[in-house]
Structure 1
């Protein structure tokens, strides 16, 4: 109230019977302020408790489904696959497993004129993107950060992941918390990416040794055993399919541009290099 008086502002609260220009009503203002603050905090605690309970039950607490899913029109707490966006998610994982880095994938998607998630959501009139003003020149401008978020999303395995962030008591902003504090409920909705592929992608992102499964979901017996005879670099496996069958397997290494003699051998040649 003192601030109102100093700035010659008349504050009137009809429900509480307060008038900043009436000294008789100002005596109760501090008590009303205390009660109002207590009430707001009490409501906040109840809302948080409700969200915690919902999240613990395996229901998503996010306001919007991630790119690749939409909310079920008949059940807002259940996600169903958005076929168009899901195909893009599958493409991103496939390209990454084939050895392309995130910058190369971003260039590929831009060349194919595939909308970024934000522009796609705006086109679908969904989420916060629908009310945002976007620069149309960026509609195909995929970037490494966006692709990293997609590649790391465990929800694409069919899981619900809640409470990845929490509000810090100092700055009141949301901060990411350690994974062991997440609330994860497995196999809730239809997966877009199989779990083995997802786990291999996480190993690649962490620069850990990777054993890629072949077309039948099994670990290839030569995974992790092939090295380039010229540079000693571990070779990457790629299984080529045709008509649903394995046509051939390629082992290769990525060499710097100044070393153009990149080895790219089919399986028989690679086997000879092992011996």
Structure 2
């Protein structure tokens, strides 16, 4: 039987030849309950996309986006969100998927992306199995078929959602146990896969965490003890199957939030709580928390790791800590943004760890005020693993806004020059580079003609074999040199076209903020690539289109 990747080889959509090379993002998705070894496996999706792209010289894959264990019934997926952000930033201008069901099963929103959002952003969309390519004019007649297929995917997902939800609800009402997506740290599934049983490898770690908390030791100190004793985090344990770090492997830090969730989890006294949140796709209801009195509690479901008395002591300590924080509430709060808009963009300059957003206090005109700061996550958990550093959120926003405004002033200052000269400048550069390339091609043609003449002379006996072989060796060296030079000029042409497109994208993206009077979340998303904070209060900001700004600076220097 032919490989899956070969199955659709003859059915690829034929598109018109074009000089443009698309920067492709390969999107892969696998649901929680999907067959991990079947035709929809991530590896199969990846191979199919690579096989397709290898036969398309106009496609160049630059990014891969993987949503593993994510439902297709909505588009709130991490990798999908990153892909949309990269489209807006101009990093990719083409999306390829195995089929439409991998893209999404929600009919209206999937159609909206394919028919409106992608064309607006200038993004080409390819679905391999469906033989759909938005760059092919003939495919426009297939949009109705695509919409119908999306509808079928949505109806299928709604039907499955209803059946699965009904099954889970029945089990909950009967007090029946079923495993959750993640097995709690300290437990494993029994041989029949019907219930939890104590894991003798990790259960002692759980007992020690509860013991230390019961003795009044803080979560920070517990985190330090776990690190000093080389204990893997629950995530690393799930990946490696090892409890303790091996000498050649990296050890991550147990975050205090992880320890807190573990200490609050009643699963360690044999209790299982179900129906903590409620969601219904077929009814259009998003996930929402369920009141405590409506949750379903299964007592004595499995063997406990912690005694009930110890668990109650720990809950009392955690409650007292929470009460102290409430009592120390300040008179005023200053919050620039409701959520952390710098997530995945702000890092420690030394250890390169994420900077975490936490609350801090200050006195302003005699009034106690709470505000937000960013601290190195490594130093926050283990102060001797990284230097101390922090920056207030409002100060960071002011610095970033000032930086963006300065670059925006540069763009506005030479906007007319760019609009007037950009096409001419790039066309001249392309013309010069193409002339050099053609000169190399002509040289290659002359060399090939000369070689054929020498070979003819050798065949007729006009020159000796030794003379011909010596000439042949020199000929191959010259041809190889010409090939290298031709590749250099081809890369230059590609670079010029890329820079031209990036500059045009820069103008359209940045100039929309020229009337913005303060930093916004959209501004950060579009303009900022990475921020690093150092101990000397130095902030390094890497903006998107950094190469374009270098070009603009050079133009400004010429004007001066």
TM-score, normalised via structure 2 length: 0.30
Summarize deviations over 1:123-159 as a string: whole Å, max 9, x none: 218xxxxxxxxx95443x1221111011001000011
Q: 1:31 to 1:186 in 2, by over 3 A?
A: same
Q: What residue is the counterpart of 1:157 in the other structure?
A: 269
Task: Give 1 or 2: higher helix fraction.
Answer: 2
Q: Distance in 1 between matches of 2:146 and 2:180?
A: 38
Deviation at 1:28, TM superposition (A): 7.5
8 Å CA contact 1:168–1:175 kept in 2: the answer is no
Deviation at 1:174, TM superposition (A): 4.8
1:99 aligns with 2:216: yes
Deviation at 1:49, TM superposition (A): 1.1
Deviation at 1:84, TM superposition (A): 1.6
Q: 1:176 to 1:115 in 2, by over 3 A?
A: farther
Q: Distance in 1 between matches of 2:221 and 2:125?
A: 61
1:180 aligns with 2:290: no
State how 1:195-210 maps to structure 2 within 5 Å: 195-207=308-320
- The SS at the match of 1:84 is coil
Q: Distance in 1 between matches of 2:152 and 2:314?
A: 52
8 Å CA contact 1:90–1:192 kept in 2: the answer is yes
- The SS at the match of 2:278 is strand
1:82 aligns with 2:199: yes
- The answer for unaligned runs of 5 or more in structure 2 is 1-110, 132-136, 243-247, 322-560
More deviation in 108-117 or 52-61?
A: 52-61
CA RMSD in angstroms comes to 3.9
State how 1:112-123 maps to structure 2 within 5 Å: 112-123=229-240
State how 1:16-165 maps to structure 2 within 5 Å: 34=151, 36-56=153-173, 57-74=175-192, 76-124=193-241, 136-139=249-252, 141-165=253-277
Q: Which has the higher contact order (CA 8 A, sep 6+)?
A: 1
Summarize deviations over 1:179-219 as a string: whole Å, max 9, x none: 333221000100001112112211211118xxxxxxxxxxx
Q: Distance in 2 between matches of 1:10 and 1:177?
A: 39
Q: What residue is the counterpart of 2:302 in the other structure?
A: 189
Q: 1:8 to 1:166 in 2, by over 3 A?
A: closer
Q: 1:146 to 1:26 in 2, by over 3 A?
A: closer
Deviation at 1:44, TM superposition (A): 1.4
Deviation at 1:115, TM superposition (A): 1.7
8 Å CA contact 1:10–1:21 kept in 2: the answer is no
8 Å CA contact 1:51–1:61 kept in 2: the answer is no
Deviation at 1:63, TM superposition (A): 2.3
Q: What residue is the counterpart of 2:502 in the other structure?
A: none
TM-score, normalised via structure 1 length: 0.57
